Structure 1
Amino acid sequence: MTDKDSAIAATVMRERLRLGNFIRGRVRDQAETEDILQDVFYEFIEAYRLPEPIEHVSAWLFRVARNRIVDHFRKKKARPISETSDLGGDDSELRLDLALPSPEAGPEAEYARSTLLKALQQALDELPENQREVFVAHEFEGNSFKEISARTGVTLNTLLARKRYAVLHLRARLQTVYDELEI
């Protein structure tokens, strides 16, 4: 084993858990998470063998992972409606999928993270109360639509519609922040 191979193996062992957790926090499907992680390490191995060294390996890995996650959601978004799940399934069309930069990725990532969280709070405050309540209960508290319906007495279809309007508003509102930060 060469010195480069040893350095690659050490980096993979050192960063695998943190990077896997980072991806897992943004991509719910375990198989997709593993695929993205493998893609990141493959790209790392290819780049590491180039003549120019990678500076700040950890930050580089997280940047590549974030790019692969974005690519994953772009591919998912580009699929025809017939290929996406229906509302009875995992409700992926109703997910905001806010990709926050890792706090460990340096000062720029920390700034982007805090900016996004502030923008999210402002955007949530702009929502009508009934939409905000459904969004918070489902996204942050982890309640199912059936649980929310049983607790509030609001029909499932009404809850789904409220969540959909909330997600559309939040996506539009936060897209400008993402564009400004060039995430």
Structure 2
Amino acid sequence: METPPPPDPMLERDNDLTATILRERTRLGHFIRRRVRDPSDAEDILQDVFHEFVQAYRLPAPIEQASAWLFRVARNRIIDVFRKRRELPLVEATAEPDDESEYRLDLALPSQDAGPEAAYARSVLLDALQAALDELPANQRDVFVAHELEGRSFKELAGESGVSVNTLLARKRYAVLHLRASLQAVYDELEI
């Protein structure tokens, strides 16, 4: 009687890779779409994460916690999208409030070209911003992201959601106050 040939390790790795992607695709897609409004950007990020996962999976050192690795890379890609949009002003309220400073975050990020310390400070600030955004109630986070990062007007948001401009302004104000409080400790620690 012949013994069957040993299983092909590359085939097993490919099967594990496929199973991980199929298992995590929906959850990872939801994670990204909750943070990135533009569906095509969200899909691009998802594809980039899986592409990087396939490349990393083929390296000799195995990925121990595939799910955690995927979500960490996705979070980094989302932050990269926010960084690319940093050229947008951090707030020009369409309705002119009495004290516009209540509606402004004024997040000052060190330049990417200012050396390793500035790059580290940028990274820490962006991580803190993402963590603070994650702490916000969904309605406040959505208004902040739509207005600040996507550059959408309050009038446009009100038309789409059926929520009044004043309510949207209030939600954004609460978001800004929370973000300021959360980021102040990071600024103080970094002494920016």
TM-score normalised by the chain length of structure 1: 0.52
Which amino acid in the other structure matches residue 107 of structure 1? Answer: P
Task: Show the counterpart of 2:136.
Answer: 127
Match of 2:96 among 89, 94, 102: 89
Task: Show the counterpart of 1:160.
Answer: 169
Which amino acid in the other structure matches residue 101 of structure 1? Answer: P
- Note the alpha carbon deviations across 1:106-161, whole angstroms, 9 max, x for none: 00000000000000000000000000000000000001100000011111111011
The 1:133–1:182 alpha-carbon spacing in structure 2 relative to 1, beyond 3 Å, is same
Secondary structure of 1:105's aligned partner = coil
Q: Using the alignment, how far apart are the partners of 1:26 and 1:96 within structure 2?
A: 13
Q: Using the alignment, how far apart are the partners of 2:169 and 2:95 within structure 1?
A: 10
In structure 2, list runs of 5 or more residues that go unmatched: 1-86
The 1:117–1:111 alpha-carbon spacing in structure 2 relative to 1, beyond 3 Å, is same
Deviation at 1:93, TM superposition (A): 2.9
- Does residue 147 (structure 1) correspond to residue 156 (structure 2)? The answer is yes
Larger radius of gyration between Structure 1 and Structure 2: 2
% of aligned pairs identical?
70
The 1:26–1:181 alpha-carbon spacing in structure 2 relative to 1, beyond 3 Å, is farther
TM-score normalised by the chain length of structure 2: 0.50
Which amino acid in the other structure matches residue 168 of structure 2? Answer: L
Task: Show the counterpart of 1:44.
Answer: none
Task: Show the counterpart of 2:120.
Answer: 111
Say if 2:94 and 2:153, in contact at 8 Å, map to a contact too. Answer: no
Question: Which consecutive segments of 4 or more residues in structure 1 shift more than 6 A?
Answer: none
Q: Using the alignment, how far apart are the partners of 1:113 and 1:145 within structure 2?
A: 28
Say if 1:26 and 1:99, in contact at 8 Å, map to a contact too. Answer: no
Deviation at 1:26, TM superposition (A): 8.9
The 1:130–1:181 alpha-carbon spacing in structure 2 relative to 1, beyond 3 Å, is same
Q: Using the alignment, how far apart are the partners of 1:174 and 1:166 within structure 2?
A: 12
In structure 1, list runs of 5 or more residues that go unmatched: 1-24, 29-84
> How many pairs does the alignment contain?
104
Point out which structure has higher relative CO (alpha carbons under 8 A, 6+ apart). Answer: 2
The 1:86–1:117 alpha-carbon spacing in structure 2 relative to 1, beyond 3 Å, is closer
Secondary structure of 1:174's aligned partner = helix
Which amino acid in the other structure matches residue 155 of structure 1? Answer: S
Deviation at 1:89, TM superposition (A): 2.5
Say if 1:26 and 1:98, in contact at 8 Å, map to a contact too. Answer: no
Say if 2:103 and 2:173, in contact at 8 Å, map to a contact too. Answer: yes
Deviation at 1:88, TM superposition (A): 2.5
